[in-house]
Structure 1
Amino acid sequence: MSGPGWLLRVLGGLPKPTKRPSADDEPPRPLARDRIGDYLLGRGYRFVVDEDGDLTGTWDGSRFWFLMLGEHQEILQVRGRWHRTFALEQRAAVGLAVNDWNRERIWPKAYLREEDGVIALYSEVSADFEPGVTDLQLAQLVACGLGTGVQMFAALEGLLPRDDAPPPDLPDN
């Protein structure tokens, strides 16, 4: 019988290919803070556990959190807050830059929040791991959340207006 390999398999002419086990075939396990912490420690990253029990640290001067959300804490969210803030009057200009980012890229989601009379810029990457997560999947999400968040903050650094005055009434990080 001649023809494409898939057709021969469908018609019973070729044996079904067998999948060889690899290191990537580990079974998914439940998401846990310890697993996130182990990944961060394995990369040599420094972090602390805040008063809410969330892992948090600073990368390139900006604060990032590793949050477990959802009814069963099955959603991992890597959230970053840029070290810069903006005056309320700059909301429109900053909003345009954030909209451009969100329109042109998949990660991270970017958004603005008003906090203590200033505008703060956040990055966010989330994934639902209800069926569990492998170490490789966990590593990919944490790396994506940190890497794209830092990249976004760096890219916006030159685009957004700079006000070197310290923000009012914000505690030091």
Structure 2
Amino acid sequence: MPSDSDPRTDTTVVAAPTPVSAERILEAAHRLGLRYFVDDEGDVGIPWRCVVVHVIFQDTRAVQLRGTWHRIADTEHLAALRSLVEDWNATRIGPKAFLTVGDGGIVRLHGEITYPLDAGMTDAQIDDFVFTGCRLIVALVREAEEVFPDSLRGSLEP
């Protein structure tokens, strides 16, 4: 845990975990030098080249970093995308990769990391969670970009 020395007593002060909020996530993004935005609903987004990582609070239980690959696919690519997801989840500790299939056969790839909020977090822990979580989600998306270098739209209209 990070600590600071108190010069008056020459003792070490250990940072105590405190509740996590959107404001503290924004402060972490600022400390880390990350670009970020706050949408109309007050949700935080951290944009990268191929993905925007959204910060999602599940009541007071957990905070998630969730990224959705900016490219879309149709169902003809579902088997290949499923293989990518299964391999990713079997060989890596995170993020959890999953697919969603929407109306019209639109397939989307997502990466997600969840952290329970019961104990709170120190500033250093929030920094690590945001930085590492974003990097892992970006790694998933880069893997998808390497496996699928061409458009995946298939028969979908632009």
Match of 2:81 among 94, 97, 101: 94
Q: 2:51 aligns with which of 57, 62, 83?
A: 62
* 2:32/2:131 contact within 8 Å kept: no
Deviations 1:123-163, CA, capped at 9 Å, x for gaps: 00110021211111111111121000101111221213632
Question: Which position in structure 1 is the counterpart of 2:8?
Answer: none
Change (3 A) 1:58 1:22: closer
Verify the 8 A CA contact 2:88 2:97 in the aligned structure 1.
Answer: yes
Which whole-Å CA distance do the structure 2 matches of 1:151 and 1:50 have between them? 25
Cα distance, 1:156–1:165 mapped onto 2, change above 3 Å: closer
- Unpaired segments ≥5 residues, structure 1: 1-20
**What amino acid does structure 2 have at the position aligned with 1:27?**
A
Identity %: 31
TM-score normalised according to structure 1 size? 0.76
TM-score, structure 2 as length reference: 0.83
| Equivalent AA in structure 2 for residue 106 of structure 1 | I
Counterpart for residue 147 of structure 1: 135
- What 5-or-longer segments of structure 2 have no aligned partner? 5-12
Backbone CA RMSD of aligned residues: 2.1
Larger Rg: 1
